[in-house]
Amino acid sequence: MKTWVEISRSALRENVDTLRKVIGPSTKLMAVVKANAYGHGLETVVPAIRERVDWFGVVSVGEADRVRALAPSKPILVMGYATDAELGHAIKRGFRITLHSPNAAKKIMQLATAARPARVHLKIETGISRLGFLLEDLPALIRTLAGKKQVVVEGASTHFANIEDSADLSYGRQQLDRFRQGLAILKDAGIEPALPHIAASGAAMIFPESRLAMVRTGIAMYGLWPSENIRQAMEGQGFSLRPALAWKCRIAQIKHLPAGTPVSYGLTERLGRDSTLAVLPIGYWDGLPRAMSSVGEVLVNGHRAKIIGRVCMNMCIVDVTEAGAVAPGDEAVLIGRQGISLVSADEFAAKHGTINYEVVTRINPSIQRLAKP
């Protein structure tokens, strides 16, 4: 194969075990595997961790179907929007549904029955302005649900807006207070969800009050820190994470070209010296952003090889002049280690002004994911 992604099962398990130590034994752990397990591949990730986690979280009903095939006994929460047809399918299959709007509540009431109830997690909007009921909307929802046996309110959730990006937890505390107000409104109406959950990876690590009955661990489970602030805080306490993903490809061709030769579209870069170039069969279709043109670096023979000129749809060119003897078919590493050298997902992200989440989730899902020990 010309390009592939390697996923370390041992790294995934180590990261889950680390998160277990952080959150303690009384809090359930939901493994968030939405977006094709953050680009790592559902079929690779779920079997590696299913015995170590309590729940799985996905963004769509289609993903829930895939996880059910891989982990039949685990509860699965669909955290995103679902169409009317998808809601019916989710109820039939016993997936947990995020109930986030009056329209969704009405449709679920029509589709579910007392014999086959919908198990829902109410989404309460507390300050991120996304899916969810505002506090003032809850009384109307309560009236809709009152006495209805076709809906079981199993959980309640919200999502923090500013935990990863700030050392100041004041906004997070406001959100937690609003969430507790929402739970109190529900309790006064006789609705007490057994599984309130608010913390994702960042809050689970640095905001203990937010752990509640369950936490939703996404990015940290894959060995990537939610932010530099959180990395420093947790490593200072002796906790570490190990990235599970490496992205590699094969060199397609080697070229020896003189100084002054233009490279790739637009003639945006000319060689400043006689150079040896390697053509890699990978481009922005695969998930290597065009913004990495003349900026990014890959590893060849343990040496850093700069991307020369523009990244193409299916190819890019790198300078391997300093990499020693290089031949077609040799391995190049876009993310990961080669020898003692490393290109991390964080470095990859910083080179074109984004975050590690986007880097790994945008690796084309058609690229094969290979499970490694």
Query: Tens digit of pLDDT for each residue in 290-328?
Result: 999 999 999 999 999 999 999 999 999 999 999 999 999
Check whether residue 175 and residue 147 sit in a common domain: yes
The answer to whether residue 177 is domain-embedded is: yes
Check whether residue 281 and residue 153 sit in a common domain: no
In angstroms, rounded to a whole number, what is the distance separating the alpha carbons of residues 255 and 327? Answer: 10
Structural domain count of the chain: 2
**111-125 pLDDT per residue, tens:** 999 999 999 999 999
**142-151 pLDDT per residue, tens:** 999 988 999 9
The answer to whether residue 74 is domain-embedded is: yes
In angstroms, rounded to a whole number, what is the distance separating the alpha carbons of residues 221 and 13? Answer: 8
The share of the chain scoring above pLDDT 70, in percent, equals: 100
The answer to whether residue 59 is domain-embedded is: yes
Check whether residue 208 and residue 250 sit in a common domain: no
CATH number for the domain harbouring residue 186: 3.20.20.10
Check whether residue 215 and residue 251 sit in a common domain: no
The answer to whether residue 228 is domain-embedded is: yes
Q: pTM of the prediction?
A: 0.95
Phi, psi of 3 (to 5 degrees): -150, 145
Smallest Cα–Cα separation from 346: which of 355, 338, 336? 355
- What's the whole-number average pLDDT of the chain? 97
Check whether residue 368 and residue 264 sit in a common domain: yes
The share of the chain scoring above pLDDT 90, in percent, equals: 98
Instruction: From 235, 258, 275, give the residue that closes a domain.
Output: 235
For residues 142 and 83, the answer to whether their CB atoms sit within 8 Å is no
CB-count burial class (<10 Å; 0-12, 13-18, 19+) for 301: middle
The answer to whether residue 187 is domain-embedded is: yes
Check whether residue 217 and residue 332 sit in a common domain: no
Smallest Cα–Cα separation from 215: which of 68, 55, 70? 55
Range of the domain at 296: 245-372
pLDDT tens for the chain, 373 residues long, are 999 999 999 999 999 999 999 999 999 999 999 999 999 999 999 999 999 999 999 999 999 999 999 999 999 999 999 999 999 999 999 999 999 999 999 999 999 999 999 999 999 999 999 999 999 999 999 999 988 999 999 999 999 999 988 788 999 999 999 999 999 999 999 999 999 999 999 999 999 999 999 999 999 999 999 999 999 999 999 999 999 999 999 999 999 999 999 999 999 999 999 999 999 999 999 999 999 999 999 999 999 999 999 999 999 999 999 999 999 999 999 999 999 999 999 999 999 999 999 999 999 999 999 999 9
Smallest Cα–Cα separation from 75: which of 94, 62, 91, 60? 94
Catalytic residues: 34, 265
Check whether residue 305 and residue 330 sit in a common domain: yes
Check whether residue 14 and residue 36 sit in a common domain: yes
Instruction: From 235, 261, 278, give the residue that closes a domain.
Output: 235
**What is the H or E stretch that residue 71 is in?**
none
Check whether residue 253 and residue 212 sit in a common domain: no
* Residue 274 C-alpha from the chain's centroid: 42
In angstroms, rounded to a whole number, what is the distance separating the alpha carbons of residues 3 and 75? Answer: 34
Smallest Cα–Cα separation from 84: which of 107, 109, 114, 117? 107
**What is the H or E stretch that residue 9 is in?**
helix 9-23
CATH number for the domain harbouring residue 252: 2.40.37.10
Check whether residue 229 and residue 253 sit in a common domain: no
Check whether residue 249 and residue 222 sit in a common domain: no
Instruction: From 174, 200, 235, give the residue that closes a domain.
Output: 235
**160-189 pLDDT per residue, tens:** 999 988 788 999 999 999 999 999 999 999
Q: Give the CA-trace dihedral at 167, 173, 178, 181, to 10 degrees.
A: 160
Check whether residue 220 and residue 151 sit in a common domain: yes
Question: What single string gives the DSSP state of each residue in 234-279?
Answer: HHTTT------EEEEEE--EEEEE-TT-EESGGG-EE-SSSEEEEE
